[in-house]
Amino acid sequence: MIHPKIPLAQTVVQLCKLKNIKHIVISPGSRNAPLTLGFTNDDFFNCYSIVDERCAAFFALGIAQQIHEPVAVLCTSGSALLNYYPAVSEAFYSDIPLVVLSADRPKHLIGIGDGQTINQKDVFENHIIYSANLKLDLKDENRIPEREELPIFKSIENRLERFLGLQQGIQSYNEDELNKALELSRFKKGPVHVNIPFDEPLYETVDTLSVNPKVQTIDLKHQKIDQDELKDCIDEWYVATRKMILVGVLPPNQIEQQWLDELANDDSVLVFTETTSNLHHPNFFPSIDKIIAPLDSESFEALQPDILVTLGGLVVSKKIKAFLRTYKPKHHWHIDAKKANDTFFCLDKHIEVTPNDFFSQFLPKISHVTKSNYFNIWTLVKQQRHKKHLAYVKQIAFSDFKAFSILLKSLPNATILQLGNSSAVRYAQLFNLNPTLDVFCNRGTSGIDGSTSTAIGCAVANTKQTTLITGDLSFFYDSNALWNNYIPKNFRIILINNQGGGIFRILPGHKNTENFDYFFETKHELTAKQLCEMFQFEYTTAHDEEQLETSLKTFYKKSKHPRLLEVFTPRTINDEVLLDYFNVIK
């Protein structure tokens, strides 16, 4: 087998292998050549070549999102590394294990005006679980020494002895740091950065390894719920007649059905689920804004919970956040093994276990259900809202709202739905989704960058068909995502093109002015047709309800190439249709 000659490169490749990190997303470069040679010449690794580093990092994030294991991204030195930052921050806030491997120049070439060189050490400091800054191998005794490494010696023997001792220390340090970084990414579920300096020559190879790095593990004990805290929770639960469970971003199959059933059948409990929660039950309350938006102050007081229990990641609904910040619960518990956000400014318990672990210990100790009409009252409200929702959808003109009502019903069973940010995920929140779908969205930072790249990474990592529904600005912003040789034939993109950032028309501001159109809504006349021709996507369009229904009949079927359906909606009425919706369902 071919190996890079540089011991540090061998160490990185071998420890990734020993830690079972199989997926390596590589962007081209010269300084990272030793690692590229090592990874691509070993059949253990699945290597992907993606030129645009921002797209590469989100692609890797999409794979890691699905396999729940670390995925590595590898780049050359300089500004290439900075293009990883959007995905690194998303991984940090979404608890996704991403390993950033950045090649760097030796210390003595940094800060002197050498090309393709920046200060790479700790560059992701505020959005990273761990940064490992590895040390350069001592190549030979004639190398330009670091000041602290090689003082002047009187004899060659002493100098050689000093050299060999230093190299052994460097090797030990690099192994320790690399082991720690890779372990933390896996067990703490987040991004780590490994900065790796290489000196030239970079392309030399050997047939045998010169290092034998040892695997180290970190004793990261899983938290157990404190029994006194559990008793406090039980006592508070019995007293409360209004309990609200709010579920944000949660991967599929995180909570056993028996615990969901128990919660759903408690008359004192409302379970509010977001589209990204992947939790379903007939007694749950999806489409939160449909319930919350029309309420007056008296109704808000009736809905105000005694206990709020939050699970999962960030919440999309601004309306539920505004409600709970104004009508605060007496108690707010957040259940998560890693972190708790005080989103509603009233957090009093962070229960540091998984939701399933908590409910499996908590619910069996609940000996009776609190008498309450909380569930029954709001179930009637939910039913009334749903009837008005259906009636409204029937009578509106073709628009974003109408398109989403058709699209979300069309998705095949047991497939994956990736949602773009901004208006796409917010429209999806207004509809009851097929419970067999697995739903994902980059809600860690809620940015429009990287949605397409993430969806493609997801499609590569999963045998299920993946469909991305995205808006036009997000799609064109991340159009380099299609510059990718690994897109499965069954991958689907549904592009809602309303000729600009339609969500800005809903927000307060002076619409229909030149300033608004140009700087906020960003009005345009772009289409995806030429991109689809360039990147070999099958392309179809829909401009009205009939065309959309017709296109969807064959859209998900087998094809020779991935497909994109571009749905054109009228730019100037979408906001009116959406705002009228909340008035009608009151």
Question: Using one digit for the tens of pLDDT, what is the confidence trace for 187-214?
Answer: 999 999 999 999 999 999 999 999 999 9
Per CATH, 227-379 and 396-584 having the same topology is answered yes
Contact 374, 241 (CB under 8 A): yes
Judged against a pLDDT cut of 50, whether residue 334 lies above it is answered with yes
Per CATH, which fold does 227-379 belong to? Rossmann fold (3.40.50)
**Predicted pLDDT of residue 519:** 61
Is residue 348 predicted with pLDDT exceeding 80? yes
Sheet holding 269-273, edge to edge: 269-273, 243-247, 307-311, 331-335, 349-351
Residue 108: pLDDT band (50, 70, 90) is confident
User: Do the strands 3-4 and 205-206 form a parallel or antiparallel pair, or are they unpaired?
Assistant: antiparallel
Residue 143 has pLDDT above 50, yes or no: no
Residue 188 CB-density burial (10 A; 0-12 exposed, 13-18 middle, 19+ buried):
middle
> How confident is the prediction for the chain on average, in pLDDT?
91
Is the predicted pLDDT of residue 51 greater than 90, yes or no? yes
3-state secondary structure of 586: coil
Q: For residues 271 and 246, give the distance between their C-alpha atoms in angstroms, rounded to a whole number.
A: 6
Q: Indicate if the pLDDT at residue 350 is higher than 50.
A: yes
In this structure, what are the phi and psi dihedrals at residue 363, rounded to the nearest 5 degrees?
-65, -40
CATH superfamily name and code, 396-584: Thiamin diphosphate (ThDP)-binding fold, Pyr/PP domains (3.40.50.970)
Per-domain boundaries in the chain: 3-202, 227-379, 396-584
pLDDT at 222: 73
Dist CA 255 CA 279 (whole Å): 8
Residue for token pair 């010449």:
41
> What CATH number matches the domain at 3-202, 3.40.50.920, 3.40.50.970, 3.30.565.10, 3.30.1310.10?
3.40.50.970
Q: Where are the alpha helices (DSSP H) in 411-538?
A: 423-428, 451-461, 472-477, 514-519, 529-535
